[in-house]
Amino acid sequence: MTIAIIVVILSTTLYCSISDSDSTKRAYTMKSILQIMTGFSFVSQSQEFTEDYIKFVNGVNTNYKVSPALTIYYKLDFSKKLRPCILFDYSTASLNDDYTQNYQQFGKTISRSIAEQINVSTNTTLICLEFLSVPSPYRSLAGIGVGLSYSSISWIETVTSNADFEKRKSGQAFDDDNYSLALRLYAGIDLEFDSKSERQFLGGLHFEGSLLWLNRMVPIYKNIRDQISNSPDNWSNKILFLPFYINLNFGISFNLYHDLNKI
């Protein structure tokens, strides 16, 4: 956040547009843009988690459901070619899986039913830099952002079994918060509304595709390693968890004007 404040201060000081209001006084005006978006999101799980989940946990479903993400940009619009901005992004993903295992124990047929529920909420804050095309009503852009992501991960297992001695236990398999490095690449297009005044509040529509990478390392299997037969020795270690998010977003932008000489 310190870097973000410095960017705003420097941009405000060095890159403001100047217009003459009269012969003795000048109005220093800076324009910024607020964009609010939502859309469709897809996640990609790490290969290490997926392979162990199928092979040792005996899970079946590996497809996560992702809720529409909420993405908010605050952009400083002082240049025709470059635009610094701050991004806030929130999304949730969940995995629900049910399966049954049948095996023999002391001459008895054991039926074990397991329900898995994994919930992940992700809050990401990035400082971005956009590269703009030639100004027109249909303006394309590309951008890159770097920052931090805060995640809350919950994994609950529910076990139903007729075994006299059941190793798998119902309860919280994993519950932890995580901070990780985040990197985002994106491209989009701004469809600006026809301007009816010099300071039009309603800016236009925005469409965007993005790829978010999170260096999210968590010991996701640590608490259940003793419940799984022949579990790997490295299950106490951290592994990469849900590292990729692909977003297809759309939203609306608002123009904000700041008279700096009044500050």
Residue 19 has pLDDT above 70, yes or no: no
Q: Are 163 and 105 in contact (CB under 8 A)?
A: yes
Across the range 89-98, mean pLDDT stands at: 96
Q: Tell me how far apart the alpha carbons of residues 157 and 249 are, in angstroms, rounded to a whole number.
A: 33
Across the range 71-95, mean pLDDT stands at: 93
pTM of the model as a whole: 0.81
Across the range 21-45, mean pLDDT stands at: 75
Instruction: Give the pLDDT score at 173.
Output: 95
Percent of the chain with pLDDT over 90: 64
Percent of the chain with pLDDT over 70: 84
Instruction: Give the pLDDT score at 164.
Output: 80
Spatial CA neighbour of 242 closest among 172, 180, 162, 174: 180
Instruction: Give the pLDDT score at 16.
Output: 40
Residue 72: pLDDT band by 50, 70, 90 thresholds? Answer: very high
Q: Are 88 and 117 in contact (CB under 8 A)?
A: no
Which phi and psi angles does 206 have, rounded to 5°?
Answer: -135, 130
Spatial CA neighbour of 60 closest among 110, 105, 113: 113
Query: Could you read off the pLDDT of 129-143 as tens digits, one per residue?
Result: 999 987 776 889 999
Residue 20 has pLDDT above 70, yes or no: no
Query: Could you read off the pLDDT of 183-207 as tens digits, one per residue?
Result: 999 999 998 876 666 677 777 899 9
Instruction: Give the pLDDT score at 195.
Output: 67
Across the range 240-255, mean pLDDT stands at: 95
Query: Could you read off the pLDDT of 144-168 as tens digits, one per residue?
Result: 999 999 999 999 999 998 888 888 8
Our CA angle for 220, 94, 245, nearest 5°, is: 85
Instruction: Give the pLDDT score at 197.
Output: 63
Instruction: Give the pLDDT score at 165.
Output: 83
Across the range 89-97, mean pLDDT stands at: 96
Residue 10: pLDDT band by 50, 70, 90 thresholds? Answer: very low
Non-local CB neighbours of 25 within 8 Å, separated by 6+ positions: none
Q: What is the mean pLDDT of the chain?
A: 85
Residue 28: pLDDT band by 50, 70, 90 thresholds? Answer: low
Instruction: Give the pLDDT score at 196.
Output: 62
